[in-house]
Amino acid sequence: MKETPPQNFATSSSPLSSPTLRFNWQDWLPYLEDSDASDEQKRELIEALWSIVIGFVDLGWDIKSTPETRGEVFDLAAILRAAVVNLEDNPETEEEARNG
């Protein structure tokens, strides 16, 4: 008997669908409430910024597959600890760093 995977389960014959992004320009209006711009100008600005964001997403979408982009579980605390510069372990002074 052949078992079939659930409908929401991707197989090698069914490619993963790209996630979709929801955008409502009015969600971003509170960030511009102190602006003297009209609502139409605010909308144009928000939509222009959203286009830039989408452009960056499009540029980087398929560059590199990492555990984070594949939905795999990873230890964020360990990643952050590895990325932090520990000044106590670094005897170099600011002056030495500037002079190279």
Tell me which residue has tokens 């079939």.
4
Q: Phi first, then psi: give them for residue 58, nearest 5 degrees.
A: -65, -40
Query: Distance (Å, rounded) from C-alpha 43 to C-alpha 56?
Result: 20
Regarding pTM above 0.95, the answer is no
What's the count of helices (H) and strands (E) in the chain, helices before strands? 3, 0
Q: Rounded to whole angstroms, what are the CA distances from 34 to 31, 45, 47, 84?
A: 8, 14, 18, 36
Query: Distance (Å, rounded) from C-alpha 44 to C-alpha 25?
Result: 9
- pLDDT (tens digit per residue) in 49-97: 999 888 887 777 655 556 655 666 667 777 777 877 765 655 555 566 6
- pLDDT (tens digit per residue) in 5-52: 555 444 445 555 556 667 888 988 999 999 999 999 999 999 999 998
